[in-house]
Amino acid sequence: MRITVLENLMAANQNTAAENRRTLADNNIYAVNIMGSPGCGKTTLLEKTLELLAGKLRAAVIEGDVSTTLDAERLARFGIQVVQINTEPFGGSCHLNARMIAGSLSTLDFKDLDLLFIENVGNLICPAEFDLGEHEKVIVASVAEGEEKPLKYPLMFRRADLVIINKMDLCDRLQTDMRILISNIRKVNPSVQIIELSALTGEGCSLWIDRLQGNFSAFQEPEGR
């Protein structure tokens, strides 16, 4: 019985996610679901991204947190549309689901929008299980988290289209073994793309921005759909 209920829940989420994906495609908006543990630097990455995308692509952000509008306030400084989802009224849910995104989409003005970033709730476990209707999943993993996280939380890394290794400016200080970290990522997802950067200093960020622009261009071509 419990399994049946869970399956129905996931099927409902899947349907809503498919609707979201259609709505986004109809409006030419490419959506990126950004996941990672609390403190890995998702919001800082978005700040740097918005700074670097200015004048190139127009973005909006859906910001997911259990509580507070702190991250949304950080991003609103860039003069973009930001929707804050607080999951506390939904029992403090530790992930976003497709229905929350559908609700947020209905409040966004799609005009002149190219990209939608969804910053998921900081958590390495269940956000990976919920399709939101995004076009790609990006995992932010920082060098401060230890090399073994991909092995401990494999689903998140297995579902990723891109792994961003953040806080590279701290790598020497923390004596992170990048060879081990990358090999652990490859063990759970052999073909995933990996970008090393520091959202704080901007080092390595041009690769990420170029990739976003490339994906957006491919998405706009009908055969890319």
Give the interface with Mg ion as residue ranges (CB under 5 A): 42-43, 71
| Burial (CB count <10 Å: 0-12, 13-18, 19+), residue 165 | buried
95 binds, among Mg ion, Zn ion, none (CB under 5 to 8 A by kind): Zn ion
Q: Quote the least distance from Cβ 38 to Zn ion, whole Å.
A: 13
Structure tokens at 151: 């092995």
Q: Which is nearer to Zn ion, 89 or 190 (CB)?
A: 89
10 or 94: whose CB is closer to Zn ion?
94
User: What's the DSSP call for residue 77?
Assistant: T
CA distances to 9, 11, 63, 69, 128 from 34, in Å: 22, 22, 10, 17, 10
Alpha-carbon gap, residue 104 to 52, rounded angstroms: 25
The neighbour count for residue 183, using CB atoms within 10 Å, is: 12
- Our CB check for Zn ion shows the closer of 14 and 213 to be 14
Task: Classify residue 177 as exposed, middle or buried by CB count within 10 Å of its CB (0-12, 13-18, 19+).
Answer: middle
The distance of closest approach from Cβ of residue 94 to Zn ion in the complex, given in angstroms and rounded to an integer, is 3
β-pair partners for 195: 164
Q: Which is nearer to Zn ion, 126 or 194 (CB)?
A: 126
If contact means CB under 5 to 8 A according to the sort of partner, which of Zn ion, Mg ion, none does residue 94 touch?
Zn ion
Q: Which does 71 bind (CB under 5 to 8 A by kind): Mg ion, Zn ion, none?
A: Mg ion
DSSP state of 161: S
Shortest Å, Cβ 10 to Zn ion: 13
Contacted by 215, from Zn ion, Mg ion, none: CB < 5 to 8 Å by type = none
Cβ of residue 70: shortest distance to Zn ion, in angstroms? 20
If the CB atoms of residues 87 and 176 are measured against Zn ion, the closer one turns out to be 87
Closest residue to Mg ion, judged by C-beta, is 43
Tell me which residues touch Zn ion (CB under 5 A). Answer: 94-95, 126
